[in-house]
């Protein structure tokens, strides 16, 4: 199948004919000077006119013009539709960037590193393993922000995770707001593929939306939430409160059909990965692709060949004009 991107260009096809007809009525002024070689000049110029006025010459001009018009109209070949089924999950990842994430209590090898360092490694590894899935990224602290919408471009999501900085979203923790933003972004996706992974190290201290209310809405919209508590310390903070609100995180996960995990080391995340791998890929809307191939180069090549032929004919005529009588 062929089509033209700019078919309106063909309106200009008769333009040379119109110009030619309008100029036919013009008459040349008679020469005011007669020279001894006038008859010879008329012979040579008459030979030139014979070249330019012949049918073959004008047909070449016309074909050259038409080839330029065809090339400008941008013809292209379009193949048969090819169906590209998209399979995978819609996974939104929520990353806590509150001030407490700088605490160094996460075991990586033989040393302790800040929680944010371990979480970045965990999240990056999680993202790289999601080939075929759409993955998005939400960063939250005092406020929740959508850093990357759902996309197949996992390398970009991984880069955003690596570039995330503490304090970017504030020093507090707005878990409920992160849940609400994730629900808003996932509600347009197929119900059986909506998954939100929340990684946090604290309690909800700054949300405008109660986490349990957000969880109830998520359950209604079939958004499954998995929560991961990031902390090595199972005790209490200096103010006497549990550092990680495990009861709330567990309740949110259970209300939506998900599960809560505590992660104190990369090894403990294997259980999370194993569970996520059990999520069956969901058939998404199939997209179609029609291969296209530009064909403008063909008429351009033909026009170039015709122009070369016209130039050759004209050069032969000019060579005749160079033969001039000598006086002296």
Compare 221 and 127 and report the one with higher pLDDT: 221
Compare 87 and 180 and report the one with higher pLDDT: 180
Q: Is 29 inside any structural domain?
A: no
Position 84 scores a pLDDT of: 58
User: What CATH number does the domain containing 176 carry?
Assistant: 3.40.50.410
pLDDT tens readout for residues 46-99 = 444 444 445 667 788 888 888 888 888 888 888 777 765 566 678 899 998 888
Position 270 scores a pLDDT of: 66
Task: Supply the angle between the helices 38-53 and 297-321 in degrees, to the nearest 10.
Answer: 160
Element (H, E) at 284: none
Q: Is 27 inside any structural domain?
A: no
Asked whether residue 271 falls in the same domain as residue 295, the answer is no
What is the spatial distance between Cα 88 and Cα 197, in angstroms, rounded to a whole number?
A: 16
Compare 280 and 231 and report the one with higher pLDDT: 231
Asked whether residue 169 falls in the same domain as residue 246, the answer is yes
Position 134 scores a pLDDT of: 86
Asked whether residue 145 falls in the same domain as residue 275, the answer is yes
Q: Which residues contact residue 117 at a Cβ distance below 8 angstroms, ignoring those fewer than 6 apart?
A: 106, 108
Asked whether residue 297 falls in the same domain as residue 212, the answer is no
Residue 263 lies in domain? 87-283
What is the spatial distance between Cα 64 and Cα 309, in angstroms, rounded to a whole number?
A: 10
Q: Is 257 inside any structural domain?
A: yes
Q: Is 326 inside any structural domain?
A: no
Q: Mean pLDDT, to the nearest integer, of 147-153?
A: 90
Asked whether residue 73 falls in the same domain as residue 214, the answer is no
Position 206 scores a pLDDT of: 84
Lowest mean pLDDT among 97-106, 278-287, 314-323: 278-287
Q: Name the percent of the chain lying above pLDDT 90.
A: 19
pLDDT tens readout for residues 200-249 = 887 888 888 899 999 999 999 999 999 988 776 544 444 444 478 888 99
Position 110 scores a pLDDT of: 77
Q: In terms of DSSP H, where are the helices of 236-296?
A: 246-255, 270-277
Domain count for the chain: 2
């Amino acid at each position: 199948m062929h089509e033209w991107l700019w078919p309106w260009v063909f309106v200009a096809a008769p333009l040379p004919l119109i110009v030619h007809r309008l100029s036919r009525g013009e008459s040349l002024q008679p020469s005011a000077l007669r020279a001894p070689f006038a008859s010879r000049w008329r012979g040579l110029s008459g030979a030139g006119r014979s070249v330019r006025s012949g049918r073959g010459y004008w047909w070449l001009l016309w074909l050259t013009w038409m080839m330029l018009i065809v090339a400008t109209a941008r013809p292209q070949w379009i193949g048969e539709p090819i169906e590209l089924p998209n399979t995978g999950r819609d996974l939104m990842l929520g990353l806590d960037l509150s001030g407490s994430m700088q605490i160094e209590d996460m075991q990586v090898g033989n040393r302790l590193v800040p929680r944010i360092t371990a979480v970045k490694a965990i999240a990056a590894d999680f993202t790289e393993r999601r080939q075929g899935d759409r993955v998005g990224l939400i960063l939250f602290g005092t406020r929740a922000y959508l850093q990357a919408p759902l996309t197949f471009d996992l390398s970009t999501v991984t880069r955003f995770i690596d570039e995330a900085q503490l304090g970017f979203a504030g020093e507090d923790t707005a878990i409920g707001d992160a849940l609400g933003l994730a629900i808003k972004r996932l509600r347009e996706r197929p119900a059986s593929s909506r998954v939100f992974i929340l990684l946090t190290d604290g309690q909800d201290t700054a949300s405008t939306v109660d986490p349990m209310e957000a969880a109830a809405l998520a359950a209604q919209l079939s958004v499954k939430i998995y929560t991961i508590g990031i902390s090595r310390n199972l005790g209490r903070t200096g103010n006497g409160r549990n550092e990680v609100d495990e009861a709330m995180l567990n309740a949110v996960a259970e209300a939506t059909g998900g599960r809560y995990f505590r992660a104190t080391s990369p090894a403990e995340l294997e259980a999370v990965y194993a569970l996520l791998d059990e999520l069956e890929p969901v058939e998404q809307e199939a997209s179609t692709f029609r291969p296209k191939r530009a064909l403008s180069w063909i008429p351009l090549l033909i026009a170039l060949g015709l122009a070369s032929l016209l130039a050759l004919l004209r050069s032969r005529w000019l060579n005749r004009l160079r033969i001039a009588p000598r006086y002296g």
